[in-house]
Structure 1
Amino acid sequence: MIRHWWRGLRPKRRLGAGIAVLHAGTVLLVRRGDNALWDVPGGGADAGESPEDTARRELREETGLSVGALRSLGVFPHRYTYQDGNVVDWETHVFVAEFAGGEPRALDDAAEVRWWPLSALPGDVSDATRAYFAALQAVRA
Structure 2
Amino acid sequence: MDTLSLHFRFSALPSISPGARVIRRWWRGLRPRRRVGAGVAVIRSEAVLLVRRGDNDLWDVPGGGADAGESPEDTARRELQEETGLSVGALRSLGIFPHRHTYLDGNVVAWETHVFTADFAGGEPCASDDAAQVRWWPLAALPGDVSEATGTYFAALAAVRA
Settle same-fold status: TM greater than 0.5.
Answer: yes
- Work out which of the residue numbers 4, 7, 11 in structure 1 matches 2:32: 11
Displacement of 1:10 in angstroms is 1.5
Which residue of structure 2 lines up, in the alignment, with residue 101 of structure 1? 122
Q: SS of 1:17's equivalent?
A: strand
CA RMSD of aligned residues (A): 1.2
2:103 paired with 1:92: no
Displacement of 1:115 in angstroms is 0.1
- Work out which of the residue numbers 59, 62, 85 in structure 2 matches 1:41: 62
Of all paired residues, the percent bearing the same amino acid is 80
Say which structure is richer in strand. Answer: 1
Larger radius of gyration: 2
Aligned residues: 141
Q: Distance in 1 between matches of 2:114 and 2:38?
A: 5
2:100 paired with 1:79: yes
Say which structure is richer in helix. Answer: 2
Displacement of 1:9 in angstroms is 3.2
Unaligned runs of 5+ in 1: none
2:43 paired with 1:22: yes
2:128 paired with 1:134: no
Unaligned runs of 5+ in 2: 1-19
Query: Where in structure 1 do 4 or more consecutive aligned residues deviate above 6 Å?
Result: none
- Work out which of the residue numbers 73, 76, 79 in structure 2 matches 1:58: 79
How high is the TM-score relative to the length of structure 2?
0.84
Displacement of 1:6 in angstroms is 1.6
Displacement of 1:8 in angstroms is 4.4
How high is the TM-score relative to the length of structure 1?
0.97
C-alpha contact 2:55 2:130 (8 A) present in aligned 1: yes
C-alpha contact 2:36 2:65 (8 A) present in aligned 1: yes
- The residue type equivalent to 2:91 in the other structure is L
Q: SS of 1:56's equivalent?
A: helix
